[in-house]
Amino acid sequence: METIKFLESGKLILEKWIERSQTTEENRLDIWISTANLKPAVQSLVEIRWGYLITITGLDIPPVRDQDNNELQPGQLEALYHFANDADIITIRVKVPYSKPQIDSICEIIPSATIYEREVIELFGFDLLNTPNTEKLILPDSWPEGVYPLRKSFTNLQDLVTSNKEQSND
Amino acid sequence: MTEAKKEKFIVPIGPQHPALKEPGNFEFTVDGEIVTDATVRLGFVHRGIEKACETRNYTQDMYLLERVCGICSHVHATAFVLGVEKLAGVQAPPRAEAIRVLAAELERIHSHLLWFGVAAHEAGFDTLFMYTWRDREVVMDILETLSGSRVHYSVNILGGVKIDIDQKLSDLIKKDMDFLEERTEHYMKVVTTDETFLGRTRGIGTLSRDRAKLLGAVGPTARASGVKRDVRVNAPYSGYKEFPVKMVIDQTGDLEARFVVRLKELYESYRLIREILEKIQPGEISTRIKRKIPEGEVISRVEAPRGELFYFIKSNGTEMPDRVKVRTPSLCNWGTITDVAVGHKLADMPMLLAGIDPCFSCNDRMVEIRSDSQPSQMMNWDGLRKYGIEYYK
Measured in whole angstroms, the distance separating CA B213 from the mean position of its chain's CA atoms is 18
Q: Do B325 and A55 touch (CB under 8 A)?
A: yes
ipTM score assigned to the predicted complex: 0.89
Distance CA B319, CA A44 (A): 40
The candidate with the shortest Cα–Cα distance to A107, out of A86, A124, A131, A134, is A131
pLDDT of residue B360: 59
pLDDT of residue A12: 85
SS (H, E, C) B99-137: HHHHHHHHHHHHHHHHHHHHHHHHCCCHHHHHHHHHHHH
Question: Does B314 contact A at CB distance below 8 Å?
Answer: yes
Query: 3-state class of A70 per DSSP?
Result: coil
> What are residue B73's DSSP bridge partners?
none
User: Which positions in chain B touch A82 (Cβ < 8 Å)?
Assistant: 299, 310, 312
* Consecutive H or E run containing A8: helix A2-14
Cα–Cα distance list, B160 to A17, B81, B90, B155, B174 (Å): 42, 9, 10, 9, 24
pLDDT of residue A92: 94
**∠B305-B308-B314 over CA atoms, to 5°?**
125
Question: Does A80 contact B at CB distance below 8 Å?
Answer: yes
pLDDT of residue B104: 95
| Sequence-separated (6 or more) residues with CB below 8 Å from residue A141 | none
Q: What is the DSSP string of B325-366?
A: EEE-HHHHHHHHHHHHSTTSBGGGHHHHHHHT---HHHH-EE
What homologous superfamily is domain A2-155 in, according to CATH? Answer: NADH:ubiquinone oxidoreductase Nqo5 subunit (3.30.460.80)
Q: Locate the chain A residue with the closest alpha carbon to B309.
A: A54
How near does any CA of chain B get to the CA of A66, in Å?
20
> What are residue A101's DSSP bridge partners?
none
pLDDT of residue A164: 54
How near does any CA of chain B get to the CA of A136, in Å?
8
pLDDT of residue B264: 95
Between A170 and B56, residue with greater pLDDT:
B56
CB < 8 Å from A in window 264-303 of B: 296-299, 301
Q: Which CATH number is B2-45+331-391's, of 3.30.1380, 3.30.750, 3.30.390, 3.30.70?
A: 3.30.390
User: What is the helix, strand, coil percentage profile of chain A, to 5?
Assistant: 30, 30, 40
pLDDT at A144 over 70: yes
Domain spans in chain B, listed from the N-terminal domain onward: 2-45+331-391, 55-205+231-246+256-325
CB A63 within 8 A of CB A129: no
Domain spans in chain A, listed from the N-terminal domain onward: 2-155
First vs last C-alpha separation in chain A: 65
Between A46 and A137, residue with greater pLDDT:
A46
Kindly give the confidence (pLDDT) of every residue in chain B, 393 residues in length, as a single tens digit, with 9 standing for 90 and above: 444 555 677 877 777 654 566 666 777 788 878 888 877 777 777 888 898 899 999 999 999 999 888 888 999 999 999 999 999 999 999 999 999 999 999 999 999 999 999 889 888 889 999 999 999 999 999 999 999 988 888 999 999 999 999 999 999 999 999 999 999 999 999 999 999 889 889 988 889 998 888 888 899 999 999 999 999 999 999 999 999 999 999 999 999 999 999 999 999 999 999 999 999 999 999 999 999 999 999 999 999 999 999 999 999 999 999 999 999 888 888 778 777 888 888 888 888 888 777 765 554 423 333 334 343 455 666 777 777 777 777
Q: Which fold has domain B55-205+231-246+256-325?
A: Cytochrome-c3 Hydrogenase; chain B (1.10.645)
pLDDT tens digits, A44-69: 999 888 888 999 999 999 998 888 88
Distance CA B296, CA B284 (A): 28
Neighbours of B151 (CB within 10 A): 17
User: What is the helix, strand, coil percentage profile of chain B, to 5?
Assistant: 50, 15, 35
pLDDT of residue B377: 52
Say if residue A16 is exposed, middle or buried (CB neighbours under 10 Å; 0-12, 13-18, 19+).
exposed
SS (H, E, C) A23-56: CCCCCEEEEECCHHHHHHHHHHHHHCCCCEEEEE
